[in-house]
């Protein structure tokens, strides 16, 4: 079955850039979606179709996907960005959904 | 405004059953696939099941044969019938609106979640 690999944690100082990666075999051939989950809250779609921002998501959030790695980039990081971030893809052959293990973003 | 309200969680014994509900509003429910995702305490997100507008369903291997997803489009409500519950089914269960296309599934609105605890 398809596996998505994320770093357990990423730390960044305020105003700097955070990059959260999601690794998978030939993930560049799939559409990758990202979810932000703040403590005690439900997930929120933060990026879809690799690089499209849903309404309400700041322009500081961007995405890319190529080869074996998809990346969620958060520029000018703020304290409010501190959350868990999950990548997600769809396996069309089985019609199953796969989530990455999640990355905890800590703002120093 | 899209709203999803999860309910039905609680304490169940191993081997027992529970039915979750998700009441939807703010969109034409029958036009959308819907999905259940769960999150065990302190763990990541795990996809459970998805169902199309006309009731075609798919399940994670971990719940197949034990859980059944259904929907009542007249009531804009999604259900998850959980049988033969095990301790490792303990989790917060979220329903989500599913923007399924020919290429992918993505979940653009989520319920607040309902906690299921399986314990004797």
Per-residue pLDDT tens digits for B20-59? 999 999 999 999 999 999 999 999 999 999 999 888 999 9
Contact call for A96 and B47, based on CB within 8 A: yes
Chain B residues with CB-CB distance to A43 below 8 A: 37, 45, 94, 107, 110
Q: Which of A42, A49, A92 sits opposite B112 (nearest CB)?
A: A42
Question: What is the per-residue pLDDT across A8-53, written as a single tens digit (0 to 9) for each?
Answer: 999 999 999 999 999 999 999 999 999 999 999 999 999 999 999 9
The total number of residues shown for chain A amounts to: 108
Query: A90 in contact with B at a CB cutoff of 8 Å?
Result: yes
Q: How far is CA B6 from CA B24, B31, B48, B61, B79, in A?
A: 9, 19, 15, 23, 9
Q: Do B44 and A86 touch (CB under 8 A)?
A: yes
Q: What tokens were used for A48?
A: 């879809």
Cross-chain residue pair B44–A92, CB shorter than 8 Å: no
Sole residue written with tokens 């179709």: A49
**Band of pLDDT at residue B101, cut at 50, 70 and 90:** confident
Please report, for residues A61, A97, B48, B82, the alpha-carbon distance to residue B25 in angstroms, rounded to integers and kept in the order given: 29, 24, 22, 24
Q: What is the mean pLDDT of chain B?
A: 96
């Amino acid at each position: 079955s398809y596996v998505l690999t994320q770093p357990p944690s990423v730390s960044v100082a305020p105003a700097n850039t955070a990059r959260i990666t999601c690794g998978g075999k030939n993930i560049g051939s799939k559409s990758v979606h990202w979810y932000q989950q703040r403590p005690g809250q439900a997930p929120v779609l933060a990026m879809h179709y690799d690089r499209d921002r849903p309404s309400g998501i700041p322009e500081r959030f961007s995405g890319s996907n190529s080869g074996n790695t998809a990346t969620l980039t958060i520029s000018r990081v703020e304290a409010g960005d501190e959350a868990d971030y999950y990548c997600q893809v769809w396996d069309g052959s089985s019609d199953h959904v796969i989530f990455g293990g999640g990355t905890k973003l800590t703002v120093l | 405004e899209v709203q999803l309200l999860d309910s039905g969680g609680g304490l169940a014994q191993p081997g027992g059953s529970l039915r979750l509900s998700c009441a939807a509003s703010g969109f034409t429910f029958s036009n959308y696939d819907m999905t259940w995702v769960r999150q065990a305490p302190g763990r990541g997100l795990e996809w459970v099941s998805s169902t199309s507008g006309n009731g075609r369903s798919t399940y994670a291997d971990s719940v197949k044969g034990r859980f059944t997803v259904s929907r009542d489009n007249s009531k804009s409500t999604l259900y998850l019938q959980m049988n033969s519950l095990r301790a490792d089914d303990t989790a917060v269960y979220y329903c989500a609106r599913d923007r399924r296309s020919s290429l992918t599934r993505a979940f653009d609105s989520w319920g607040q979640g309902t906690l299921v605890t399986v314990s004797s």
